[in-house]
Structure 1
Amino acid sequence: MSLKTILVHLANDVEHRTRLKVALKLARQHDAKVFALFIPTPIGMPAGITGRGASAMFLSEASRNAREVADNLEKEFHEACERDGIENAWLVIEGDHVELMSEHAHTADIIIAAQPIIEHLEDHFRTRLPEELVMQSGLPVLVIPRGFDPEIQIGKKVVLAWKGTREAVRAIRDSMSILASAEKVLVLTVGADAGDALSKLEVMEHLRRHGVNGEARNLAEIPDSVGKAILDFAETQSCDLIVLGAYGHTRWRQILLGGVTHEVLADSKIPLLMSH
């Protein structure tokens, strides 16, 4: 799938400029339009805010502060787009982040969102934007990790986590334009499953026909944590992107019991492209 419209989620958080810079860099690489959607409404309520009056006051103040941030960011965005000749759109709108992003995803090719912050047990059960978007929007979601340097080019060396599942097939199709432009794509399987080995041969041929410079890799011994094994492999190989089919098992099962998607999303220091 070609990338011609990039939808980037913006809010009043410390990483919004990073996501915007990544979107602009990706747009230059793929001659794409950037649609920046800034949502001033807070994603969640701080634990210390209790009572209807206090909640309303917090929401009003937070939204007002966010709109001031949006005004300054919009100017930077339009200047950067004009300088580089990038087609663009900017929208500031209040509401539910998942609903608004999913609605505007109908005419986009990829979503850029922030890595969720998981510091407390209850964070596992709150709305976590990338997870909700990959399940509801119908689009691949490029998750930008905390502290990421936006000057790093994403997609030069990619690890494609392969397993013979519908989600993994979808991830390949959704990321094909990125894979085709990569200098190298490492197709990684974990364990010695004969079915996965056979399907990987077919996948390698499929990628070759699309002009992808692919190389098959396997971690024969199944580790205690497949997610950690993927992350360790990607870091050891100096990859700048992980492509992953998300939630082969139910999302709530992964949150409660752990799972590959849950582990990689929570702990990755490398951008992650997820599809479902």
Structure 2
Amino acid sequence: MTIRNILCAYSSEDGQASGLDHAIRMARHHDAWLTGVLCHGRHALERSSSARIPEAVRSILREADNARIAEARARFQAAVAEGYKPDRAEFVDLDPDSAGPLSAFARCFDMVVTGAHSARPDEDHLSAHPDTLALQSGRPVLVVPDDYEADALADHAVVAWDGGRAAARAIGDAVDILAEKARVTILTVGRKSTAPDHVDALLRHLKRHGIEAVSEHRAQGHASIAQTIEMSAKELGARLIVMGAFEHSKFRHDLFGGVTTEVIGTATVPVFMSH
């Protein structure tokens, strides 16, 4: 996948700097166009009790949102002016009531860079949902942890492989990114002592793309699969995790939890995911 058009979606005040810095770093590396976007809905108070909220209170909420949007725009423009090319960047204030959901807008880009969703009451309605974007946009999503700092893009990527459809899709979307890495590790996790089927075929596939990857199998033990992936990435010195998103249904993940949800919420390095 050639990267020429990147969407950087606002996630929170805390997460904007790390996600935006990483998006600029990627845009600079690929000489890509960069679009910042903040998609805003109605405040939680308006959604839960709009009929009982006086118009004066609604106005206060909207003014607060407008101030936050203006601040996000100013941060984006200042960061681009300092670290990239203003003539190849723009900021979009997306109103879902008139322009449709963020996931539909994201389909017009090569990939999305964002942070973990913020559940803070004052910004929940402004914060992008990376899980929804991965599920509904048809585009890969790179989730950058809050306060993540790096001088350069990762030179070692860990690819979480379970032989499933979503993992195959993630590798297909990330193959050009992986081709630039000095090291790529195919990580398999399970209670069995052997890796899932077709790891050798996957290594051969990557080699045909010029990627000299190695495989690593880790027993799950008492830790969850997500914890094992994250611990393995840290032990191996990898600064990027590539994985499939929501191999099982989103409803099941919301109800019982799952690997995707846990990794998004706890990873300390960027996570590239596709569905």
Could you say which TM-score interval applies, normalised by the shorter chain?
0.7 to 0.9
Contact 1:110 1:140 in 2 (8 A): yes
SS in 1 for 2:261: helix
Question: In the alignment, does 2:88 pair up with 1:87?
Answer: yes
How many residue pairs end up in the alignment? 267
Report the CA distance shift for 1:242/1:86 in structure 2 as closer, same or farther (over 3 A).
Answer: farther
Structure 1 position 33, deviation (Å): 1.4
Question: In the alignment, does 2:115 pair up with 1:137?
Answer: no
Question: In the alignment, does 2:116 pair up with 1:111?
Answer: no
Structure 1 position 11, deviation (Å): 5.8
Letter in 2 for 1:16: Q
SS in 1 for 2:134: helix
Instruction: Give unpaired runs (5+ residues) of structure 2.
Output: none
Q: Which residue of 2 aligns with 1:102?
A: 103
Report the CA distance shift for 1:193/1:46 in structure 2 as closer, same or farther (over 3 A).
Answer: farther
Which digits, 9 at most, give the CA deviation of each residue in 1:97-151, with x for residues without a partner?
x94422222221110111134699xx9xxx97011100110001100112211x3
Q: 1:1-276 counterparts in 2 under 5 A? A: 1-10=1-10, 13-39=13-39, 41=40, 45=44, 51-53=52-54, 56-80=58-82, 84=85, 87-95=88-96, 99-117=100-118, 129-149=129-149, 151-191=150-190, 197-276=196-275
The TM-score normalised by the length of structure 2 is 0.84
RMSD: 3.1
SS in 2 for 1:14: helix
Aligned-residue sequence identity (percent) comes to 28
Report the CA distance shift for 1:261/1:4 in structure 2 as closer, same or farther (over 3 A).
Answer: same
SS in 2 for 1:212: coil
Instruction: Give unpaired runs (5+ residues) of structure 1.
Output: none
Letter in 2 for 1:250: S
Contact 1:37 1:92 in 2 (8 A): yes
